């Protein structure tokens, strides 16, 4: 701590406990240094280990009041930036980038926030650093494509969302890239075609669902594409062979 505090008086440094409540140096988990700047004040918070925790531009800064007005960045204990963006009168404005990390420094997701709401493609990661999934968010709600990947980079499944619910095709893929299964959804419920595929890409089964019940045809195929059987259903009940 000597290097950090050299040249500063006790009044230059504010100490905080684990709940960010003011305390003495002995009980502190964080500390804060405030310096005047041409734009107002530069506020820097540190973990008690001397690792930076936050840097911020403020229009007012003292032991009782902090008003964020400008760029701000937060850091974890490993030194990685976890979020950064701009404040106006203590309110986050515009887009904020964020990244979350494990305690080993592995990034596990990242994206953009707008007005404190997730408003971008949220990317999740494997410990290897490869992408696990990408999900399209608007106003903190899934709206658009969600794609999941295997650690080798191949697509595991792809789905479409509207207002947080499955809406459109949900498709699973084999490692080869060939479709394995797909189904249509409306407002979060299976409604429409459901198809199974052989490894060669030929249809294995083709069904039509309404309200999660087979309602229409149910067809099974041989691997060469010829029809093996076809049955008609109404409201989940078989009608003919």
Question: For residue 142, which of 117, 179, 175 has the smallest C-alpha distance?
Answer: 117
Q: Assign 116 to helix, strand or coil.
A: coil
CA within 13 Å, CB half, 63: 9
Check residue 227 and give its pLDDT.
93
Q: Assign 154 to helix, strand or coil.
A: coil
CB 46 within 8 Å of CB 53: yes
Check residue 240 and give its pLDDT.
58
Q: CB under 8 Å to 20, separation ≥6 — which residues?
A: 30
Question: For residue 43, which of 55, 27, 26 has the smallest C-alpha distance?
Answer: 55
For 70-81, write each residue's pLDDT tens digit: 999 999 999 999
**Domain positions in the chain:** 1-75, 167-241
Residue 221 CB neighbour total at 10 angstroms: 19
- CA dist., res. 197 & res. 206, Å (int): 9
For 11-53, write each residue's pLDDT tens digit: 479 999 999 999 999 999 999 999 998 889 999 999 999 999 9
Read off the pTM.
0.80
Q: Assign 105 to helix, strand or coil.
A: coil
Greatest extent of the chain over all pairs of C-alpha atoms, in Å? 91
- CA dist., res. 144 & res. 135, Å (int): 8
> pLDDT digit of tens for each residue in the chain (241 aa)?
333 333 334 347 999 999 999 999 999 999 999 999 888 999 999 999 999 999 999 999 998 899 999 999 999 999 999 999 999 999 988 889 999 999 989 999 999 998 888 999 999 999 999 999 999 999 999 999 999 999 999 999 999 999 999 999 999 999 999 999 999 999 999 898 999 999 999 999 998 888 777 778 889 999 999 999 998 888 767 775 4
């Amino acid at each position: 701590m000597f290097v950090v505090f050299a040249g500063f008086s006790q009044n230059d440094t504010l100490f905080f406990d684990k709940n960010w409540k003011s305390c003495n140096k002995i009980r502190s988990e964080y500390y804060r240094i405030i310096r005047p700047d041409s734009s107002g004040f530069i506020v820097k918070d540190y973990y008690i280990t001397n690792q930076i925790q936050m840097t911020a531009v403020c229009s007012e800064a003292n032991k009782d009041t902090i008003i964020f007005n400008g760029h701000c960045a937060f850091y974890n204990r490993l030194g990685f930036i976890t979020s950064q963006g701009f404040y106006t009168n203590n309110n986050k404005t515009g887009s904020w980038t964020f990244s979350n990390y494990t305690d080993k420094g592995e990034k596990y997701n990242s994206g953009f926030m707008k007005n404190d709401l997730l408003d971008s493609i949220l990317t999740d990661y494997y410990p290897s650093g490869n992408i696990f999934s990408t999900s399209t968010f608007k106003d903190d709600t899934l709206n658009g494509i969600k794609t999941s990947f295997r650690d080798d980079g191949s697509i595991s499944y792809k789905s479409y969302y509207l207002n947080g619910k499955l809406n459109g095709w949900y498709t699973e893929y084999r490692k080869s890239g060939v479709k394995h299964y797909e189904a249509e959804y409306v407002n979060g419920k299976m409604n429409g075609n459901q198809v199974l595929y052989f490894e060669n890409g030929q249809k294995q089964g083709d069904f039509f669902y309404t309200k999660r019940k087979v309602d229409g045809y149910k067809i099974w195929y041989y691997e060469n594409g010829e029809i093996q059987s076809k049955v008609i259903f109404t409201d989940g009940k078989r009608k003919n062979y």
